[in-house]
């Protein structure tokens, strides 16, 4: 009986140490989450699934150049020509496959991003990109105008649950039309 109590006492001391070690190792292995978000580049027309215009192709290449040193590990796009073509230059440059996500189920994408950690580029649309920024805890700013293609959000999700948002403009600048 005394031997059994001794073993139980030992486990009471060892088990918490093993659990702390396990969870600390898990936390150490989890990479911080950094998410870059852009709307697709300029499209040729307003049809349901248009390709990029010549200007849009230039912007897609500009995104790849802008993020060339960002160590992007994952690229995500909706299943439209304009978003996949916007994501293609950086995916190709980094030797990555573009993961297609469902724009109607953004919470699922958020869950996936948080589980993976690392550095992601997400290409979306004028309505989904700000919503995704918000779901990740960031500040989406104002509504994206239909002719606005130069926003690049950088979200850094901190271990304490806070999200830092940086909004950068790239390529040819959006010029709002002011009524006279």
Could you list the pLDDT tens digit for every one of the 180 residues in the chain? 555 555 445 444 444 444 444 443 334 446 899 999 999 999 999 999 999 999 999 999 999 999 999 999 999 999 999 999 999 999 999 999 999 999 999 999 999 999 999 999 999 999 999 999 999 999 999 999 999 999 999 999 999 999 999 999 999 999 887 644
Q: Specify burial of residue 146 (Cβ count, 10 A radius: 0-12, 13-18, 19+).
A: exposed
32-169 classified as CATH 3.40.50.1240: yes
Query: Which pLDDT value is given to residue 2?
Result: 55
- How far apart are alpha carbons 72 and 36 in whole angstroms? 9
Q: What phi, psi does 121 have (nearest 5°)? A: -110, 125
Q: What is the pTM of this model?
A: 0.83
Question: Beta partners for 151?
Answer: 169
Query: Rounded to whole angstroms, how far apart are CA atoms 103 and 175?
Result: 27
Q: If we measure between CA atoms, which residue out of 95, 115, 96, 113 comes closest to residue 37?
A: 113
């Amino acid at each position: 009986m005394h031997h059994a109590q001794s073993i139980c006492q030992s486990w009471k001391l060892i088990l918490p140490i093993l659990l702390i070690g396990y969870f600390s190792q898990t936390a150490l292995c989890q990479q911080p989450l950094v998410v870059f978000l852009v709307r697709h580049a300029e499209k040729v027309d307003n049809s349901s699934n248009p390709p990029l215009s010549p200007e849009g192709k230039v912007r897609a290449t500009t995104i790849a150049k802008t993020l060339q040193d960002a160590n992007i590990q994952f690229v995500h796009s909706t299943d439209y020509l304009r978003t996949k073509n916007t994501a293609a230059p950086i995916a190709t440059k980094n030797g990555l496959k573009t993961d297609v996500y469902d724009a109607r189920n953004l919470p699922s994408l958020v869950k996936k991003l948080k589980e993976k950690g690392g550095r992601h580029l997400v290409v979306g649309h004028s309505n989904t990109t700000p919503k995704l920024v918000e779901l990740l805890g960031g500040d989406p700013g104002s509504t994206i105008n239909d002719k606005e293609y130069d926003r690049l959000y950088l979200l850094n999700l901190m271990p304490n649950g806070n999200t830092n948002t940086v909004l950068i403009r790239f390529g040819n600048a959006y010029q709002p039309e002011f009524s006279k």
